[in-house]
Amino acid sequence: MRKTVLLLHTGGTLGMVGGRPHTLKPAPFAEALRARVPELTELANVQLELFSNLDSSEVQPEAWLALARRLHQRLPEVDAAVVTHGTDTLAYTASALSFLLPGLRRPVVLTGSQRPLQEVRSDARLNLIDAVTAALRGPPEVTVCFDSHLYRGNRTVKVKVAEYDAFASPNFPPLGTLGVHAHFLPGLRPRGRPGLLPGLETRVFLLKVFPGLDPALPLLLLPKLRGLVVEAYGAGNVPVEERSGRSLLPLFRAARARRIPVLVVSQAPRNAVELGLYQGGAAIAEEGAIDGGDLTAPAAVTKLMCGLALHPDGPALRRYLETSVAGERS
C-alpha cells in the first residue's frame, strides 16, 4: 500500500520567482510543483497543503506554533510530513518544532532550496525528492534534508548563502545520506505520548559577546526579558575583569536577581561550552549561568522559549535546559 506524505508549503526561495537582476518574491506553488517535480507522485501519495507563502525572514514564533498545531492535527492521518521552508530561518523552525512536538512518532522533514524551483539550475527538485524519500524511510523525528544529507533538525545551522550545501550539523553526524543509494540511521526513539506544547515565551534575547561590548546596553534590556541566551567565546568565556569597565558579571548578577535564566552557548561552531574551564566561565557559573553544552544558537533560543512556557521559573527550567529532550545536545 502506498504511503501518504503531507507536504506543507510555507514559502521561501523554493517557491519564488524572479532572481538576478530582479528581486525574488513569493509565487504560486502548486502548479510549479506539478510541472517541475511530477516524480513525487511515484514515491508516495503526496497531499499538498499551502500553509503560507512567506519569505522565511518573516517567519515568527507565532508561525512555529501554528505549524506545530497543524502537524499535530494531521500527522495521525498520514505516514510522514515534509515542510518546505526558506533557508534563512529554517534551522530555527526545525529546532522549535522538535521541542513543540514531543513524543513524535512520524518523520517531519524540512527542506528548501538556494534557487527557485522554476529555475533550470535549481536545487529545489532534488531536495524535494530527497525530502519525500527521507520522510518515507527516515527516523521519526524533526529533520532537515538538504543537498543529499539528512540532519537532525535541532542540530543544524545555515553556513552558506550561495552554495547548495547550505546547512551543516557541526556537533552531530548526519542521520542519512542520499546518493546512488539512500542510507538512514534509526534516529531518536519515541518517548511518551505525542504531544503539543501550548505556547512559547518570546521575551528572549540572543546576545553575542564581542570585544568592546558595553555591559550597560544589555543591562538596559534586562527588565524587558524573561530569558537570555549568551553566545560566549570558546568554552563559555566572557570578560569579567571589573577594572576594565567591560565586565559582564554585573549583567549576570542582575539577571540572577531578577530570576532571569541565562543560557550560555559558544560562538565556535564545533565542540561545547564548559563553564568551569576558564576564569570567565567559572565566574558566570557562580552567578547562575546555565551551561548550554553544544547547543546551536537556534536550538538554544527556541528551547529557552519552550522551556519558559513549560517551566516559568526555578529548578525545573534549569533541568529542562541542561537535559537533552529531543537530541539537541550531547
Mark whether 158 and 221 lie in a shared domain.
Answer: no
Query: In sequence order, what E strands does the chain have?
Result: 4-11, 16-17, 25-26, 45-54, 80-84, 108-111, 142-146, 149-152, 157-158, 167-168, 176-178, 182-184, 204-208, 227-232, 262-266, 290-291
DSSP sequence for 148-195: TEEEEGGG-EE--SSSS--EE-TTS--SEEESSSEEE---PPP-SS--
Asked whether residue 58 carries a pLDDT value surpassing 80, the answer given is: yes
Q: Which 3 state secondary structure label does DSSP give 310?
A: helix
Active-site residue identified among 158, 291, 294, 303: 158
Domain boundary among 152, 184, 216: 184
Q: How many residues does the chain have?
A: 330
Of the pLDDT bands very low, low, confident and very high (cuts 50, 70, 90), residue 33 is: confident
How do residues 269-326 score in pLDDT, each as one tens digit? Answer: 999 999 989 999 999 999 999 999 999 999 999 999 999 999 987 899 999 999 999 9
Predicted confidence at residue 41, as pLDDT, reads 87
Mark whether 142 and 225 lie in a shared domain.
Answer: no
Mark whether 316 and 236 lie in a shared domain.
Answer: yes
CATH number at residue 19: 3.40.50.1170
Predicted confidence at residue 92, as pLDDT, reads 98
Mark whether 11 and 150 lie in a shared domain.
Answer: yes
Mark whether 218 and 306 lie in a shared domain.
Answer: yes
**Catalytic residue list contains 158:** yes
Residue 185's φ and ψ, nearest 5 degrees, are -90, 160
Mean pLDDT (whole number) for 243-250 = 93
Mark whether 23 and 140 lie in a shared domain.
Answer: yes
193 part of a folded domain: no
Mark whether 267 and 134 lie in a shared domain.
Answer: no
- Rg of the Cα trace of the chain? 21
Active-site residue identified among 87, 93, 111, 156: 87
Of the pLDDT bands very low, low, confident and very high (cuts 50, 70, 90), residue 234 is: very high
329 part of a folded domain: no
328 part of a folded domain: no
Active-site residue identified among 79, 202, 233, 278: 278
**Catalytic residue list contains 87:** yes
How do residues 68-121 score in pLDDT, each as one tens digit? Answer: 999 999 999 999 999 999 999 999 999 999 999 999 999 999 999 988 887 888
199 part of a folded domain: no
197 part of a folded domain: no
130 part of a folded domain: yes
**Catalytic residue list contains 278:** yes
Mark whether 162 and 220 lie in a shared domain.
Answer: no
Structural domain boundaries, residue 297: 204-322
Predicted confidence at residue 131, as pLDDT, reads 97
Q: What angle do CA 321, 324, 327 make, to 5 degrees?
A: 135
Mark whether 269 and 217 lie in a shared domain.
Answer: yes
Predicted confidence at residue 27, as pLDDT, reads 56
194 part of a folded domain: no
Average pLDDT, the chain: 93
Residue 319's contacts (CB-CB under 8 Å, 6 or more residues apart) are none
Predicted confidence at residue 35, as pLDDT, reads 77
Active-site residue identified among 10, 13, 111, 156: 13
Count of domains observed in the chain: 2
Mean pLDDT (whole number) for 13-17 = 62
191 part of a folded domain: no
Predicted confidence at residue 17, as pLDDT, reads 58
pTM summary value? 0.94
CATH number at residue 299: 3.40.50.40
Lowest mean pLDDT among 8-12, 21-25, 76-80, 298-302: 21-25
Of the pLDDT bands very low, low, confident and very high (cuts 50, 70, 90), residue 169 is: very high
How do residues 183-220 score in pLDDT, each as one tens digit? Answer: 999 999 888 889 999 999 999 999 999 999 999 999 99
Mean pLDDT (whole number) for 236-259 = 95
Mark whether 46 and 178 lie in a shared domain.
Answer: yes
Predicted confidence at residue 142, as pLDDT, reads 98
Mark whether 224 and 76 lie in a shared domain.
Answer: no
Active-site residue identified among 88, 130, 291, 294: 88
Mark whether 180 and 212 lie in a shared domain.
Answer: no
